[in-house]
Amino acid sequence: GVPHRSIKDDVYNGMFIPEGSTVFPNIRGISLDEHIYSDPHVFNPMRFMSKEKGGKGEPYFFAQWGFGRRVCPGRYLAETGLWLAIATILTTLSIQKAKDENGKEIEPEIKFADGMVSQTYPFRCDIIPRSESAAMLILKV
């Protein structure tokens, strides 16, 4: 997360935090808390669906947008833009495992880079338009 500075002496969970201390929210630790999320290292979007709809009913993680009065004011616009981008990509493109020279699928090795923003290292995949009209639409952009 983004660093903050404490404006006065404080005590949190028994730990003294002096005024002027730099404080980092441990977003990675929060999002991988095994007391909240079952199998937190496994990519499983179904975890956030309600149990009635076949999911696990685990709470959606909002900490990436910040906390309290410093929460990102553009979070709803950003989430809507991300949803539209992902929906458009999945509607128009088929994303598949890459194939080697013999036509055998290459299993991607998913590794994450550490840092302020965690992301996967690049891996090979095949991206194919789902239809001729989708290909034409993509070429117009």
Please state, in angstroms and rounded to a whole number, the distance separating the CA atoms of residues 110 and 94.
19
CB of 55 within 8 A of CB of 47?
yes
Annotated binding site for heme: 72
CB of 89 within 8 A of CB of 81?
no
Per-residue pLDDT of the chain (141 residues; tens, 9 = 90+): 678 899 999 999 999 999 999 998 888 888 889 998 889 988 888 888 999 998 888 888 777 788 778 788 999 999 999 999 999 999 999 999 999 999 999 999 888 887 777 788 999 999 999 999 988 888 887
In the structure encoding, which two tokens stand for residue 32, read together?
Answer: 């991988």
Annotated binding site: 72
H-run or E-run covering 126 = strand 125-129
Cα–Cα–Cα angle for 89, 92, 96, rounded to 5 degrees: 75
* Three-class DSSP category at 52: helix
